Amino acid sequence: MSGRIRRVGVVGGGQMGAGIAEVCALAGLDTVVCEVDAVAARAARERVAASLERAVRRGKMAGTAAREALTRLVFTGDLEELADRQLVIEAVVENPDAKTEVFTALDKIVEDPAAVLATNTSSLPVMRLGMVTGRADRVVGLHFFNPVPVLPLVEVVASLHTSPDTVAAVEEFARRTLGKTVIRSQDRAGFVVNALLVPYLLSAIRMAESGFATATDIDTGMELGCAHPMGPLKLADLIGLDTVAAIAESLYDEFREPLYAPPPLLQRMVEAGLLGRRTGRGFHVYDQV
């Protein structure tokens, strides 16, 4: 890749994809967000616009900066519009088949052989995604944290095939262009943060499941007893219980350690559509916006 990354694509305009697109636009980048269709693309635009509006309302940024960021964003339902991108970040649902489909398509669509194809996966092997392309050396993990505009961390994950030039390019992008703090991880399920965090969340779920303590008392205990800004069950609700379950399954598949196994209560809640904050109910009840 010659020069700095200026043209970015984001596949997926949900909570994570919208946040990634927002920080890219705020950094002055030409950003194209691709969703499954035009309806979903409009919803993604509304999601980013609402986030920018909240930031202005809270005094975190000027209205002019928010308006300028929106002008740098294009929302589409056509993956072909990512053909000229220097970096494409996949941020679709945490499902191996869905992510594999995206990378297979991007390999054919993105024209520059030196372009980087990055995944925001929380737990899936980067190697698996790289191997469905003809450019595994240009595939890398670039894992942001929710909410992306607020949390400063990015994990950079290289597979056995990822080239040093690719790692250097995405690290420079995350640090210099987006202003994020970067840590590196080997290509192991969960990387650094989720390999430590998810067993803690699952332990809290098991505690609630057994009747040892209520969800409110578990969260209050960790917030006031350990100075955590958010209790584990509130955090699981924020992440999304379906995402927590998917990460747990990936961790268990790789390591076969009982502490990674998703508890039955978590699985039942996902089956019931009680996914946390975005559905209005998880371990706690939320007002729907």
Distance, CA of 258 to CA of 202 (rounded, Å): 11
How does pLDDT run across 140-197, given as a tens digit for each residue?
999 999 899 999 999 999 999 999 999 999 999 999 999 999 999 999 999 999 999 9
Out of 123, 143, 159, 185, the active site residue is: 143
User: How many Cα atoms are found within 13 Å in the side-chain-facing hemisphere of 90?
Assistant: 30
Q: Which of 65, 191, 168 is nearest to 122 (CA)?
A: 191
155 in catalytic set: yes
Out of 120, 122, 159, 185, the active site residue is: 122
In the chain, % of residues over pLDDT 70: 99
What average pLDDT score do residues 100-126 get?
96
Residues 166, 158 contacting (CB under 8 angstroms): yes
Checking if the pLDDT of 97 tops 80, the result is yes
pLDDT of residue 7: 98
143 in catalytic set: yes
pLDDT of residue 289: 55
Q: By mean pLDDT, which of 14-18, 203-207, 284-288 is the weakest?
A: 284-288
pLDDT of residue 3: 63
228 in catalytic set: no
Pairing of strands 73-76, 87-90: unpaired
Binning pLDDT at 50, 70 and 90, where does residue 70 land? very high
pTM value?
Answer: 0.91
203 in catalytic set: no
What average pLDDT score do residues 228-246 get?
96
What the block records as the tokens of 37 is: 């269709």
Q: Which of 182, 179, 183, 181 is nearest to 26 (CA)?
A: 179
Mean per-residue pLDDT over the chain, rounded: 96
Distance, CA of 133 to CA of 176 (rounded, Å): 28
Domains belonging to the chain, first-starting first, are 7-185 (3.40.50.720), 195-279 (1.10.1040.10)
Residue 79, C-beta contacts closer than 8 angstroms, at least 6 positions apart? 11, 34, 105, 106, 109
